[in-house]
Structure 1
Amino acid sequence: MADFKHWKEQRLSRADGSRKGSVDEPIEGLVRLLNGHESFCTTSSCSGRVVVLEQQPRPLNAEATTGFEIQKRNCTWLMVTHQICTIEDVLTALQKAKDDAVFKFEPFVLHVQCQELQDAQLLHTVAIEAGFRNSGITVGRKGKIMMAVRSTHCLEVPLSQKGKLMVSEEYVDFVVQVANQKMEENRRRIDRFYSCLQFALENRDHSSSLPFEEKEKISTMDSCIKKGKAKGIPNEDICPSPGKYTGLESEDEAQSNINVLQVV
């Protein structure tokens, strides 16, 4: 515990090493909430963004294992926004391209180092409930516990080749609208994640201060819920749960039961 506290103090005292140099405004409150709790320390984050990237064509003889690094080194950012964008923004960016240009939407991502495995498990549960169904936990060989909050509703579309626009402006407008819809859904998930995390942390902190008898009641209720799930009984029929959210995008459903635990 002392080691984690010392490491966290050092980490948070350092300057932000990201390209932007600061936390994105839409997730400032969430990052403060996590770093304000003794069990968590955020290490990297992005609230979600729409970008136009220019990439030099990859050499045919390039090593497959180094393709990502080659692409990263030879990448030029023509446009980046963490907000809703317009077709005019994208077309203006594409006019600057001399090589291949790609339009991307990248959803919210957050990496958090956790003090204990149970802290990471709580964060993972909250992330899944909020719709970030590609989230997972990684445990390093020295016991470092990392929790990654991720989702799968990305978008990547090539638009130009060697500086020449390869699609119609109507199609560019279409992909911009799709990206904006994904950004709006992304924001809803962030809001759910923040609300669910507040609720979960308050409940855990309150539970830790309860007498033994009250903890036993909560444990019994949790056991009933687990047994009910095994029998296929909906949660709301076992024990009504405030803050249960529905209506998430179906493209993440394939990841709904992910609980990754890796040793690296």
Structure 2
Amino acid sequence: MRAKREALKTLFTAIKECKVDSDIIDLLLLINSIKGVYTTSSCSGRVGIIEEPKIGAKPLSRWLIKKHFPITFEEAKNSLKAAQKGVIFLKAQPPIFHIVGENVEIGKKLHEIGLSSGFKYTTFKALSKERVLVEINSTEYLTVPLGGDGRILISDEYLEFSINLANEMLKRSKSRLPRLEKNFKKLKEELGEDELFYELNPPMARYI
């Protein structure tokens, strides 16, 4: 109960501060309104160009452009002008949700929902008697090296091809979100509403 209370406070604050991806707000509110279930972190999927000082140095990486919907060739091309130091990658990443079930049985249901909704990389990330963390994830990942140290080493034709592919992968992965929402509505009917959700922020009730 305490862990979910803190998770809900964090979520509601992030929504108010516009720090949550707008196209999954309703889904996140639905999930967190379910008894015995809450989210810890989520992303609705994204396409972007990132500059990494060296391989594996994620904390020091810098996004030149990052959007949660398709980007254009012109946007990508313009963002590359800001490249300075490190390896430049075009990336596409699918929606990802980290969801906690407050017992093993609920954790199993979350895992089943992810897989049945088409998120084939859904896995258990942590397991105990009191808490099961499930990562709902998909397969549409793309990483394309574009150059390094400010130099773009591919043609405009290949850049455009890569961007179109990245955008298509993002659209494909996001197309599963309605199915995921439908399955969580069924879970809510099964497990019931969590009064804590409405107690902490009653105005959020109008969204679900």
TM-score scaled to structure 2, two decimals? 0.83
Name the counterpart of 1:12.
8
Name the counterpart of 1:43.
40
Q: Please tell me whether residue 34 in structure 1 is matched to residue 21 in structure 2.
A: no
Question: Structure 2 stretches of 5 or more lacking a match?
Answer: 193-208
User: 1:73–1:197: structure 2 CA closer, same or farther, 3 Å change rule?
Assistant: closer
**Cα distance in 2 for residues equivalent to 1:22 and 1:33:** 18
List structure 1 runs of 4+ shifted beyond 2 angstroms. Answer: 14-18, 138-144, 199-202
**Residue 142 (structure 1) shift:** 6.7
Identity of aligned residues (%): 26
Name the counterpart of 1:124.
111
Indicate if the aligned counterparts of 2:103 and 2:129 stay in contact, CA closer than 8 A: no
**Cα distance in 1 for residues equivalent to 2:21 and 2:44:** 6
- Aligned with 2:61 (options 75, 81, 84): 75
Name the counterpart of 2:123.
136
- Aligned with 1:173 (options 151, 160, 163): 160
- Aligned with 2:90 (options 59, 80, 103): 103
Question: Structure 1 stretches of 5 or more lacking a match?
Answer: 59-67, 207-264
Name the counterpart of 1:24.
21
User: 1:86–1:159: structure 2 CA closer, same or farther, 3 Å change rule?
Assistant: same
| SS across alignment from 2:144 | strand
Q: Please tell me whether residue 188 in structure 1 is matched to residue 185 in structure 2.
A: no
**Residue 21 (structure 1) shift:** 5.9
| Superimposed CA distance per residue, residues 13-40 of structure 1 (whole angstroms, 9 cap, x where no aligned partner) | 237679x962211111110011111211
Indicate if the aligned counterparts of 2:146 and 2:152 stay in contact, CA closer than 8 A: yes
**Cα distance in 1 for residues equivalent to 2:35 and 2:119:** 23
| SS across alignment from 1:90 | helix
| Superimposed CA distance per residue, residues 149-192 of structure 1 (whole angstroms, 9 cap, x where no aligned partner) | 01121000010122111110011100111111111112211111
Q: Which has the higher contact order (CA 8 A, sep 6+)?
A: 2
The RMSD of aligned alpha carbons is 2.2
Aligned AA (1:44):
S
| SS across alignment from 1:173 | helix
**Residue 200 (structure 1) shift:** 3.8
Aligned AA (1:168):
S
**Cα distance in 2 for residues equivalent to 1:197 and 1:11:** 18
| SS across alignment from 1:95 | helix
**Cα distance in 2 for residues equivalent to 1:184 and 1:10:** 32
TM-score scaled to structure 1, two decimals? 0.66
